[in-house]
Amino acid sequence: MTNTQVTLVQIDNYGPWTTTPRPRRETDLQTLQSRLYADLSQFVGVRDGYVFFTRFDNMVAVTNGLTRADHERIQETIRNRYPVTVSLSAATAASPADALVEATELLQDAGSAQDGDRTEILRGEFLSPGRQRPDDVQIAHFDVVDATGTYTDELDAFATFRRIEQGYAALMAHLHERHGGLAFFVGGDNVIAVCPTMAETDYAAVVSHVRDTTDIDLRVGVGRGRTASEAGMDAKQALETGRELDTRVECAFPAVGECATD
Amino acid sequence: MTNTQVTLVQIDNYGPWTTTPRPRRETDLQTLQSRLYADLSQFVGVRDGYVFFTRFDNMVAVTNGLTRADHERIQETIRNRYPVTVSLSAATAASPADALVEATELLQDAGSAQDGDRTEILRGEFLSPGRQRPDDVQIAHFDVVDATGTYTDELDAFATFRRIEQGYAALMAHLHERHGGLAFFVGGDNVIAVCPTMAETDYAAVVSHVRDTTDIDLRVGVGRGRTASEAGMDAKQALETGRELDTRVECAFPAVGECATD
Amino acid sequence: MTNTQVTLVQIDNYGPWTTTPRPRRETDLQTLQSRLYADLSQFVGVRDGYVFFTRFDNMVAVTNGLTRADHERIQETIRNRYPVTVSLSAATAASPADALVEATELLQDAGSAQDGDRTEILRGEFLSPGRQRPDDVQIAHFDVVDATGTYTDELDAFATFRRIEQGYAALMAHLHERHGGLAFFVGGDNVIAVCPTMAETDYAAVVSHVRDTTDIDLRVGVGRGRTASEAGMDAKQALETGRELDTRVECAFPAVGECATD
Amino acid sequence: MTNTQVTLVQIDNYGPWTTTPRPRRETDLQTLQSRLYADLSQFVGVRDGYVFFTRFDNMVAVTNGLTRADHERIQETIRNRYPVTVSLSAATAASPADALVEATELLQDAGSAQDGDRTEILRGEFLSPGRQRPDDVQIAHFDVVDATGTYTDELDAFATFRRIEQGYAALMAHLHERHGGLAFFVGGDNVIAVCPTMAETDYAAVVSHVRDTTDIDLRVGVGRGRTASEAGMDAKQALETGRELDTRVECAFPAVGECATD
């Protein structure tokens, strides 16, 4: 059964900072945000975690394998290199959504996101690396079937963007409400979802739901592992297999169909 | 009347590159994409343009003030520092949506986004800097009224994210279909829209529409200028005014209410 | 005759910051410094200037073509994205060394580099873009003849590094004392010097001096232009010519040999 | 006794790449190099190693604690995000200089630095993390006594730079020839040296030598640890102690004076 450690990353008092003493130049803010995200992505990535940019001032990370000390060092390196600081809170649950609910509550208990005195909070429990198991994290990597031929090369860029966003919105809502999974757009026509233990038939139902409600044809590869990186790389490989076989759902683990049984 | 120069930025053959010879590590791709965007944001930003990350492999920029030579240098600096190259196409129209349609077509005419031989295309016409006028660009900067108190500090992080996305989706669709405006989420609870000439009452109707359909309460500041930066900074200032006065729509130009007359 | 605008970039109160409240992690400082330099290099570079990392907390830039407003924007973008701020002072002279002396004095007059209250100073005069001339900047690009075959592939990496440094030190001293030129190591076996008007025979003498005193065999290409970028690109092309013809000094301008007459 | 694992990082075939098909814009190269260094510094730094920029195309790292798999991942992440690749070779010895000699030979045996077919070499042996000991790495952190008051605030910026460089050159030569230590300028007035086991009296002699030959007054803090980060942070703390006590040499370990006995 999955046991996903989720970390909420929140830039401290960011909104007020962006307009003090007067609104800061938008392109500088965009650069700041995207580089901060890139740095977190590398830092967490070399420890086999994933970070999703989400709203940029609030990011969600899958951090199985990262200790409290790792989280402290994230705070240190941001403080040393950026004009802003970050608060972090972590929680672990079978359901990624539940873990994030708990992590969010821990941070909200420490004060408002726009409280100038609430900085560099670090809350939560961290999985002991020794207790990691090979099915702690389940990652589903979705993309749109022939997105380039169907959309990018055919529609105008904004229409394509809207179509992808519509499919993503339906997927995000369905996975969250029905399964407690957290889906994030990661660029192009790709969505990566951190899922609880789900069966292949569950994924098939998700793909059907999105096609029925938005007419977007998705494909998904699913992997699992001790860490987001392990699970995510297997998911990508499974997605490649799905492309080759022109199937809609491919699970990387044991045997197709068995994914529900663990 | 607005006369917006829009540039479509497309990473050449990016999808295949990300999986060749096998899927590349996701955190590296995320880092690559967000840094490429950050660099473009700075490059275009110092020339007073805006870039929106959109799908990351396809980005949309407002480039009034940037010449063909500037676009060539973007291609050069990316080629010199990244493992990928970019194609660019630009078009200008009173309607930002029309400009992007034209820019997209120019690029599609040059070949598929996944054609390995179609690299570093540069197409389109560029506004002469001497012909820029003070109302060429109209920018509307939206945010959610008391997003922190209503959502960030109250709901869990994913629920907040979904609420913001819902508001954004409604706004994006309405502005695009009704007005030919292009709206982009830029982080936090902020959306920046590149608009055609629109009246204050139009913006009030947009805000009402989003509230009626999604229950998200938006505020907007509107500015205009020769460039995205000029218009955008005025829009931010207007948004600050709206916060102080607790109004929903503030226009930075001439006198409030006159914005419809140009 | 050259008329070089030199800008001194100084991180404000940097030393104390690096040890407050306790010494900051070295790898974070290295990352901060090198990224700050990279950003300045891009910012100044897209305006056709050059920045040299020098001591990293004090950097020297050739900024012909950059106005006071450009310098203000450098300060703004650093403030918006880094935990430190920068002071800038600029001066122009026929001799790059004289210009830097004057720029340094302007900044020293404003207070100590470690005065916590002396932040974001901007001093000096800026060349009017309209008055730029095609021989304002003279750049000499040096490298070591067959550095790879002679050193990199033969000696151990530190011995090679020391040899290159020795050649560079002799070159730097000679150019500075004899001509008022400013030479900077830029990586590999490359040194770029900002020079006053100098004749081809002067460069030949420099190359001889370095060979006689350190046994390092240098080659140099020289260019001139309105900006560092123009002059520097011509210098690189001239250096390529020198490699092809196996000569030691190549001037890009009018005719070889005439460089002394202007 | 020290047991320092040194890694040589070499950009593959970099010289030819910088001029193919024609010389690339210098500011792009500077940006590429310094960002590549910054990324390596972070990557190695979060594993408690140090990287020195050295010549940028050839960098030297202290990598105690980094495994072969870590080195492979460095190559992967560079390949995924840069237009260049890197070769790595590692060796371990009591003398850092000996380790680098061996690492260099391993790489030279694989082919020339400018051989287009010699890419992503990975050679050498890596210390088992289980066998790390608390005195494997000895780091000496030097700075110039009152550099700001004596130089930065008094001389012009280039004269200061030259003075710092002269002190550094003398220090580098002495440490290398006499002790087999590797000293690197790291910005400002700071030099970090990776040393073999050396006594406090050895450091005092180094400081005297530099003062006698160049009139530069150095201070040094010395630390040791399992990793560069441990040793280096202790060295920085010792340097702070030296500043407070106005001494010239401070060792962080056991008792001052005992550093020679291990």
Cβ contacts of residue D128 below 8 Å, gap of 6+?
A: none
- Cα(A170)–Cα(A166) distance, integer angstroms: 6
pLDDT at D129 over 90: no
What element of type H or E holds C249? strand C249-251
Q: Counting one residue from A and one from B, how many pairs have CB atoms under 8 Å apart?
A: 212
pLDDT digits (tens, 9 = 90+) for B140-196: 999 999 999 999 999 999 999 999 999 999 999 999 999 999 999 999 999 999 999
CB D28 to CB B77 under 8 A?
yes
Confidence of residue B232 (pLDDT cuts 50, 70, 90): very high
In this complex, do D38 and C35 lie within 8 Å of one another by their Cβ atoms?
Answer: yes
Segment C171-189 shows an average pLDDT of 97
- For position D218, what pLDDT does the model report? 98
The 8-class DSSP code of residue A261 comes to T
Q: Which of D215, D203, D216 lies closest to D248, judged by CA? A: D203
Rounded CA separation B81/B103 (Å): 25
> For every residue of D12-77, which 3-state class applies, written as one string?
CCHHHHHCCCCCCCHHHHHHHHHHHHHHHHHHHHCCCCEEECCCCCEEEEECCCCCHHHHHHHHHH
Q: How confident is the model at residue A250 (pLDDT cuts 50, 70, 90)?
A: very high
3 state SS for B78-115:
HHHHCCCCEEEEEEEECCHHHHHHHHHHHHHHCCCCCC
Q: Residues A135-162: what's their mean pLDDT?
A: 96
* Per-residue CA distances from B132 to A3, B67, B125, B261, D181 (Å): 57, 12, 14, 20, 61
Q: What is the mean pLDDT of residues D195-213?
A: 97
Give the angle subtended at the CA of B90 by the CAs of B89 and B93, to the nearest 5°.
145
pLDDT above 80 (res C63): yes
Residue B237 has pLDDT above 80, yes or no: yes
State residue B115's pLDDT score.
Answer: 92
pLDDT at residue number C260: 44
> Contact at 8 Å (CB) between B224 and B139?
yes
pLDDT at B124: 97
D48 Cβ contact partners less than 8 Å away, ≥ 6 residues apart:
D64, D65, D226, D227, D228, D229, D230
Structure tokens, B38: 């950050």
Q: What is the mean pLDDT of residues D181-198?
A: 97
- pTM reported for the whole predicted model: 0.96
- Contact residues, chain D to chain B, C-beta under 8 Å: 24-25, 28-29, 31-32, 35, 76-77, 79-83
Q: What sign does the CA torsion over B12, B16, B22, B26 have?
A: positive
- Tell me the per-residue pLDDT of A192-224, one tens digit each, with 9 for 90 and over: 999 999 999 999 999 999 999 999 999 999 999
Determine the pLDDT at residue D261. Answer: 36
Q: B223, B62 in Cβ contact below 8 A?
A: no
Nearest to D62 by CA among D180, D194, D154, D203: D194
Give D236's pLDDT tier (boundaries 50, 70, 90).
Answer: very high
Q: Output the pLDDT for position B130.
A: 85
Q: Which residues pair with A225 in a beta bridge?
A: A137
Q: State how far residue C109 is from chain D, nearest Cα, in angstroms.
A: 9
Residue D112 CA to residue D104 CA, distance in Å, equals 11
Question: Which ranges constitute the DSSP H helices of D143-246?
Answer: 147, 157-174, 200-214, 228-245
Handedness of CA D235, D241, D243, D249 (dihedral sign): negative
Grade residue B254 by pLDDT with cuts at 50, 70 and 90.
confident
Whole-number Å distance between alpha carbons of C10 and C87: 5
The closest alpha carbon to D141, from D209, D211, D234, D68, belongs to: D234
D32-74 pLDDT, tens digit per residue, is 999 999 999 999 999 999 999 999 999 999 999 999 999 999 9
For position C206, what pLDDT does the model report? 97
Q: What is the ipTM of this complex?
A: 0.95
Q: What is the mean pLDDT of chain B?
A: 95
Distances (CA, A) of C101 to A51, A193, D164, D188: 48, 59, 17, 19
Chain B residue numbers with beta carbons less than 8 Å from the beta carbon of A42 are: 27-28, 31
CA max distance for chain C: 59
- Å from D141 to nearest chain A CA? 19
pLDDT category at C1 given cuts 50, 70, 90 is: very high
Can you give the pLDDT at residue C261? 36
Are the C-beta atoms of D56 and C188 separated by less than 8 Å?
Answer: yes
Residue A260: the pLDDT is 44
pLDDT score, position A36: 98
pLDDT band, very low/low/confident/very high, at B252 (cuts 50, 70, 90):
very high
Provide the 3-class DSSP secondary structure of residue C109.
helix
**What is the residue type of B27?**
T
* Residue at token pair 């370095």: C210
Q: What is the mean pLDDT of chain A?
A: 95
pLDDT tier at C232, thresholds 50, 70, 90: very high
The string of DSSP codes covering D91-156 is EEESSHHHHHHHHHHHHHHT--TT-TT--S-EEE----GGG--TTSEEEEEEEETTHIIIIITTS-
Q: Which residue has the higher pLDDT, A253 or B260?
A: A253
**How far apart (Å, rounded) are the C-alpha atoms in residues D147 and D149?**
6
Angle ∠(C187,C191,C196) on CA atoms, nearest 5: 150
Residue range A28-52: mean pLDDT, rounded: 97
Confidence of residue C183 (pLDDT cuts 50, 70, 90): very high
Chain C residues in contact with D42 (beta carbon < 8 A): 27, 31
Please classify residue D246 by burial: count the beta carbons closer than 10 Å to its beta carbon, then call 0-12 exposed, 13-18 middle and 19+ buried: exposed
Q: Which of C66, C67, C115 is nearest to C87 (CA)?
A: C115
By Cβ distance, the residue of D76, D79, D83 closest to B81 is D83
CA distance B19 to A23: 41
Contact call for B42 and C77, based on CB within 8 A? yes
Considering chain A, what percentage of its residues have pLDDT values greater than 70?
A: 97
Residues in A closer than 8 angstroms to B82, CB to CB, are none
Whether C257 has a pLDDT exceeding 80, the answer reads: no
B253 or D190: whose pLDDT is higher?
D190
Tell me the nearest-neighbour CA distance from D68 into chain A, angstroms: 14
Mean pLDDT, chain D, as a whole number?
Answer: 95
Please give the residue of chain B at the shortest CA–CA distance from D31: B81
For D46, name the nearest residue in chain C, comparing CA atoms only: C27
pLDDT (0 to 100) of residue A256: 46
Distance in Å, alpha carbon of A44 to nearest chain D alpha carbon: 10
Q: Which amino acid is it at D5?
A: Q
> What are the pLDDT digits (tens) for C89-107?
999 999 999 999 999 999 9
pLDDT score for A107:
97
Averaged pLDDT for residues D78-87:
98
- pLDDT number for residue D130: 85
Q: Which residues on B lie below 8 Å from D82 (Cβ)?
A: 81-83
What is the C-alpha to C-alpha distance for residues B232 and B252, in angstroms, rounded to an integer?
Answer: 10
Q: Is the pLDDT of residue C256 over 70?
A: no
Q: Please name the residue of chain A whose CA is at the shortest distance from the CA of residue D42.
A: A43
Residues B49-83: tens digit of each pLDDT = 999 999 999 999 999 999 999 999 999 999 999 99
Sign of CA dihedral B239, B242, B248, B251: negative
Is C111 within 8 Å of C128 (Cβ atoms)?
no
- On the question of pLDDT at D255 being above 60, the answer is no
pLDDT, residue D260, reads 44
- B77 to chain D: which residues are within 8 Å by CB? 25, 28
